[in-house]
Every structure is written in structure tokens, then in C-alpha cells.
Amino acid sequence: MADMHSPEQAAADVIDATALDEAVAFTSGLIRIDTSNRGGGDCRERPAAEYVAERLAAAGLEPVLLERTPGRTNVVARIEGTDPAADALLVHGHLDVVPAEAADWSVDPFSGEVRDGVVWGRGAVDMKNMDAMVLAVVRSWARAGIRPRRDIVLAFTADEEDSAVDGSGFLADRHPGLFEGCTEGISESGAFTVHAAPRLPLYPIAAGERGTAWLRLTAHGTAGHGSKPNPANAVSRLAHAVARIADHRWPVRLTPTVRAALTELGEILGVGPGPGSRQFDLDAFLAKLGPAAGLVEATVRNSATPTMLDAGYKVNVIPGRATAYVDGRFLPGGEEEFAATLDALTGPDVDWEYHHRETALEAPVDSRTFGVLRESVERFDPAGRVVPFCMAGGTDAKQFSRLGITGYGFAPLKLPPGFDYWSLFHGVDERVPVDALHFGTRVLDHALRAL
């Protein structure tokens, strides 16, 4: 097999036309397998896992199918590298998707239809496209007899769209040996085009994630008749706490990744003064960034958003208990401040607890790995500029970080002007251009061999 040790060999383009066709066909094929995750265990990823495993096996790999719960299937395989002394690299993607209401869509959301150069369906960007590109790349390597420098562990997971307890959490906790030697990982939500200005495409690569803090708030009071005054009304207590949380303005906290993003965006777009200046005004700075502001504005603060309420059983009865749920997110290093603020906002009459919690992540933007990812994108789009960013939400990288794996968001796509990538995440008419998949497959191939 070819050895990719030298930079010249790593730089060579070896991806073939078959791989480009397969990236599209596999995206469509995976979309047609309905893996809607409705939460609470209501999902079945096994058919998609079998689809993936069959294609890995055809490439000479030995995929392992693993389940914590029947039907909630994960696939793991290892590609042996040419340098046994090198650290291994994890490449992971999830197989589940959020539900879709067919009546809201222009096409059947699970048709995988390819029309006018676009692949349509749930998972087209989140993230069966990346799963498909990974499959296409490793199969291309098998045909060409190519091996990467370092071992690459492939993980296709269940349950990312809920708690990950049947997916990456299960793999990290129960099967850590499969990831032996892995020090870094790449996955979704990075290296897609953001058109910040005419003829200025940006490609944000994720080097951080806010932590997840899904909260359950509970107010207790005195039950009674709705016609009588009741100062210990659980519903009122809860409503006041929820309103305080919704109205709270969290202070600005610039993490190293966000600070780097602001600095690079300011330099590229000619906006100043930047975060290193005493005259720096964040709100004024963001207003000058235009579309690029969306890369950072959700990650300069912690946040807490009320999302669910549950109280009472009859209009003339004051219940003794009321419950609410809040989607909280905290920055790297910001969890203590987040918890203390929630204590103050909820007050003495409302208790709160974590319904689901995952850590915040930060990865170095001055690492060799980030440099390789940057070079790989800019090689295939010389007009493009790569910038680091921190994800507002989270990925399976959180669970894999338990194994000491540093995660980057890198699922490359070259998107045309006007293509609203963000709105398609969990949105209606999710779709991805065929040309974007071809670009992403080439970039991914180059990056994985160069790493």
C-alpha cells in the first residue's frame, strides 16, 4: 500500500470519480433510512448502522456493531496507519436525525431525492452527508491501496440528537479500548462556507463547544381553590423565576477560541478596534461583521432559554407543584458562574437541577492539526479564508473528550451565496448541493491523509 509519510505524497490528489459519486449516493441512501430520534429512546439506528458496516466491510475493514439498547446501534472500525508510533485520529459522525413533519416539506423528507444538483432530505446537512463523505473517502483509499500515516478510528454513532447515552456516551464508557491511542477527533459543524462579503467566503472550523446544561425547575407551594388568594402559588412562583431567567442579560466572557475568532474576523473584514484594544466595543464590533457575526454572537456569553412548562390539572385548582425546563449553555470555564446565576434567578421558592449536563470544550487553534485543516480547505478554495469558532451547541465530541480526545468540527462543504446553512439544521427542506459534497470529499481526503 502507498505510504503517506512525505508531504508531497500527502498533498497529491488521489480521490477518484467513483468516490465523488458514492458521496452523493450514500448521502441519499442514508437519508432514505428513517432514523428519527424523538427522544426518550424512541429511535432505531440499526438499519443505517448495517448500511454503513456493509460498505466498510467491502473496503476491507472489520466494522464492529455495538448496542447498549437493542436497535440503537453504533459502528466502529479502525484503519491501520503506516506509522505505529503516531497517535490515532478519531473521525466520528452520528446516524440519527431529528424528526421531520412531511406536511411542511417540499419533498418527502426521507426520500433522499436528488433534484437540480441538490440532495434533499432529513440529515442532508446534519449529518448523513459527513457520514457519506467519510465512507466514500475510505473506500477510495481501499481501491487505490492507500493508508494514512496514523491509525484512524471511524465511529458512526446512535443517539447524538438526544442524550448520547446509547451512542458516544456508551462507547466512551463501555468500550474505551476501541479508541486506544486516539488523541484528536474531527466531526460535524465546521468548514462550511459563510459568505461574509462579495467574493469573500469564510470557512469556520470549530475549536470549542459551549457546555450543555438542560435544567429542570420545580416550584412547590400550597394547593388550593383557584378562587381564593394564595401567596404560595407554585405556578406564580415558577412563572416569576422563568421570567427572570428569560430576561437576564448574561455578561460577556471571551474564551480563547472566541477571542481568536473575533481577531481573525476583524482582520479579514477590516473591522476594528479588535478584542485586544482598550477601545473594543463588542456590540459595535459585531454590528460591523455582517453575516459573519453569526459565527460568534451566540458564544460570547452563557445562556439560559426557557423551553417547557408543566403545571396544574384543572382551571379552578391551584396545584402544589409546577415544573419548567430550561436549555442552558455555558462557556468553557463558565459553569460555576452559570450555576451561581441560576441560584440567584430562581430564588428561594424554586429548585433547579441538571436534567442533562455535558462539559464545555476548547481546542487549540495554534495546533498543527488546526493548521492542516486550514490548509486543506484553502487549498481547494484559494479565495476562502478559514477562521476558528466555538459552537453554540454540542456534539459527540463531548462524550469522546472523556477519553482525552480533543475535538474539532470539520465537515467541509463549499456552499453557494444565499445558501442558509444554519437554517437547515433541524429545519424544513434540509438539503445539500451535490457540488458541495464533491468539494467536501476532496477536502476530507486531503486532510485525513495530511494529518
Is-contact 397 187, C-beta < 8 A?
yes
- Using CA atoms, how far apart are residues 28 and 189, in angstroms rounded to an integer? 19
- At a CB cut-off of 8 Å and minimum separation 6, what does 366 contact? none
Separation CA 88–CA 97 (nearest Å): 28
- Selected catalytic residue, list 22, 45, 96, 161: 96
Phi and psi for 357 in degrees, rounded to 5? -135, 135
The DSSP code for 34 is -
d(CA 11, CA 445): 10
CA-closest candidate to residue 219, choices 327, 323, 341:
323
Residue 45 annotated among the catalytic residues of the structure: no
Which of 278, 279, 282, 289 shows the shortest CA–CA distance to 259?
282
The position carrying cell 419548567 is 324
The three three-digit cell numbers of residue 445, written as one number: 481526503
The amino acid sitting at 440 is G
Tell me which amino acid residue 272 is: G
- Please work out, in degrees rounded to the nearest 5, the angle formed at the alpha carbon of residue 268 by the alpha carbons of 293 and 383: 105
Bridge partner residues of 309 (DSSP): 324
Catalytic member of 151, 159, 160, 264: 160
| Catalytic residue list contains 96 | yes
Burial 62-73 (b: 16+ CB within 10 A, else e): ebeebebeeebb
Instruction: For the beta carbon of residue 23, count every other beta carbon within 10 angstroms.
Output: 31
420/343 Cα distance (integer angstroms): 38
Which residues are part of the catalytic machinery?
A: 96, 160
